[in-house]
Amino acid sequence: MNNVGISNWSGSRTLAGTVVTPTTLDEAADAVARSSHVRALGSRHSFNDIADSEETLLNLAHLAYRHPRLSTPTDGDAPPSSVEPELDESTGRVRVTGSTRYADLALFLHDRGRTLPNFASLPHISVAGSVATGTHGSGIGNASLASSVVGIELLTADGSVRTLTDADAELDGARVALGALGVVTAVTLQSVPAFDVAQTVYGPAGFDDVVAAFEEVSGLGYSVSCFTTLRENTFASIWVKRAGGELEDAWPAQVAGSRAMSEPFHPIPGVDPANATQQLGAAGPSWDRLPHFRADHMPSAGEEIQCEYLVPRQHAVRALEAFRELSGPLAGLVQVAEVRSIAADTAWMSPMYQQDCLAFHFTLVRDNERVAAALPHLDAAFGPVEGRPHWGKVFDADPQRVRGLYPRRSDFVDLARDLDPQGTFTNAFLRRWVF
């Protein structure tokens, strides 16, 4: 199938490349060999031009594993073949095709008593695409999804497959690779024994109360997220997700002065909570609690544009104040904003490289022009606190500032030139922000 003008998941951006949909790995290798510029597509949940190509867009949906309990595609993609993941029971390592969505992998692992340590806010996204952009969930002790990667198989421009494992120093360059090294055909992840999580949503809480008790609030559970519309001086909801021994403890009577909600809540105030994962303290499998959105429902708002900055945790107080000040410049644009915690990792191009971070995320209205006009305000707010833009979301910054935030950037560029000397997997996004 060839098609031009495919859009991203939210419909906020049309990709310029021509889509080619291989049904086998050999067809994928053929498509790469025939193109001078190629980018692989994941589930197209990115908001900027990171996935775009001046020539070929490789849709790998047919090579994804689809769990039978999620047999209906939620994203309109062609039905995939069921390429079973391979779980090594002795090590807990699971090898999965790159285009497989976390939802399908989570169910596969669940059936075998295993899971992954953390998930993003939604499980609808592909493993390779998420890992490539440094996608993360929340939790002071939880690092990005890329930190579970122990092996990557790359289809390179000459058609050969290169495998990197945790025995190779370069794996840290290939974890958050922004699609620059080749087509990720398979990823091996370290799974953990399955565990339960229960979530209780508190709110609303005063902005000052949350800032004053921020370390305590963000340490209340395995994963904590604080949501605000920035319209009132409050956090509308604080999502506390508990695991392991925390499940034995009584829930706090109050969080930053707010009480537990007695009804389910959607992260975006006023939206039907049917799409949100189960709350009210009911324990269940971690893959069905750590994401905010249910695997079999549409996540978030759909009509939206997202941006996000990752800020070193040492700047938490200044960053939270800068965040609050954005209520003016972002007036009329914010559907909801979220503050999360992420632990440091070791991936060279990860925004969390060697530093614990806070994530300031914004779900904005789907109005490209008005959002573009507001983006410099976001960079002005978070730039002075070393904020790194999320690789898969929209941002407007000085490219020199962004490049300077990554101490291993030149090692990454060397790795890309080694694996892809002709620049087949390079695009305008990479030329602007990385190379």
Interacting residues with ligand FAD (CB under 6 A): 9-10, 39-46, 50-51, 60, 98-99, 120-122, 125-126, 128-130, 132-133, 135-136, 178-179, 183-184, 299-300, 306, 390, 392
Q: CA 224 to CA 220: how far, in whole Å?
A: 7
Query: Nearest distance from residue 343's CB to ligand FAD, in Å?
Result: 13
Query: Nearest distance from residue 113's CB to ligand FAD, in Å?
Result: 25
252 burial level (CB within 10 Å; 0-12, 13-18, 19+): middle
Q: CA 329 to CA 75: how far, in whole Å?
A: 33
Nearer to ligand FAD, 208 or 356 (CB): 356
Is residue 243 a contact partner of residue 222, using CB atoms and an 8 Å limit?
A: yes
The closest of 297, 364, 186 to 288, measured between CA atoms, is 297
Query: Nearest distance from residue 407's CB to ligand FAD, in Å?
Result: 21
The closest of 122, 165, 112, 161 to 145, measured between CA atoms, is 122
Nearer to ligand FAD, 27 or 209 (CB): 27
Sheet bearing 357-364, strands edge to edge = 284-285, 196-202, 237-243, 223-228, 334-342, 357-364, 305-312, 388-389
Query: Nearest distance from residue 375's CB to ligand FAD, in Å?
Result: 16
Rg (CA), the chain: 20
Sheet bearing 183-190, strands edge to edge = 86-88, 93-97, 183-190, 149-155, 161-165
Q: Give Dmax (Cα) for the chain.
A: 62
Query: Nearest distance from residue 262's CB to ligand FAD, in Å?
Result: 26
Query: Nearest distance from residue 212's CB to ligand FAD, in Å?
Result: 26
- Residues in contact with 5: Cβ distance below 8 Å, sequence separation at least 6, in sequence order: 14, 15
Query: Nearest distance from residue 39's CB to ligand FAD, in Å?
Result: 4
Tokens coding 170: 């370069």
Query: Nearest distance from residue 347's CB to ligand FAD, in Å?
Result: 13
Nearer to ligand FAD, 127 or 256 (CB): 127
Nearer to ligand FAD, 204 or 299 (CB): 299
Query: Nearest distance from residue 340's CB to ligand FAD, in Å?
Result: 8
Query: Nearest distance from residue 132's CB to ligand FAD, in Å?
Result: 4
Nearer to ligand FAD, 39 or 241 (CB): 39
Nearer to ligand FAD, 55 or 208 (CB): 55
Nearer to ligand FAD, 9 or 323 (CB): 9
Nearer to ligand FAD, 43 or 234 (CB): 43
Nearer to ligand FAD, 133 or 228 (CB): 133
Is residue 106 a contact partner of residue 115, using CB atoms and an 8 Å limit?
A: yes
Q: Please give the single-letter amino acid code of residue 399.
A: P
Phi first, then psi, for residue 358 (nearest 5°) are -105, 145
Nearer to ligand FAD, 186 or 374 (CB): 186
Is residue 131 a contact partner of residue 146, using CB atoms and an 8 Å limit?
A: yes
Nearer to ligand FAD, 99 or 234 (CB): 99
Is residue 145 a contact partner of residue 128, using CB atoms and an 8 Å limit?
A: no
Is residue 226 a contact partner of residue 238, using CB atoms and an 8 Å limit?
A: yes
- Residues in contact with 432: Cβ distance below 8 Å, sequence separation at least 6, in sequence order: 399
* DSSP 8-state class, residue 151: E
Query: Nearest distance from residue 379's CB to ligand FAD, in Å?
Result: 18
